[in-house]
């Protein structure tokens, strides 16, 4: 699919560079952020 045929989509190169999301890493970062936030608020 090219952007000439489908102007509402991103170019193919943008989809090619997309990566998977590591939800475990995201959850760990969120947990650390939450802990720091709560420790500074209290």
List, for residues 14-37, the tens digit of each pLDDT value.
Answer: 999 999 999 999 999 999 999 999
pTM: 0.51
Angle formed at CA 5 by CA 7 and CA 21, multiple of 5 degrees = 60
Question: Could you tell me where the DSSP H helices lie in 1-42?
Answer: 12-16, 23-41
Sign of the torsion angle spanned by Cα atoms 11, 13, 19, 20: positive
* pLDDT higher than threshold 60 for residue 3: no
* pLDDT higher than threshold 70 for residue 2: no
Length of the chain: 42
Task: Name residue, tokens 């939800």.
Answer: 23
Q: How far is CA 35 from the centre of its chain?
A: 21
């Amino acid at each position: 699919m090219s952007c000439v045929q489908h102007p509402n989509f991103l170019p193919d190169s943008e989809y090619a560079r997309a990566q998977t999301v590591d939800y475990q890493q995201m959850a760990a970062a969120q947990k650390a952020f939450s802990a720091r936030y709560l420790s500074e608020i209290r």
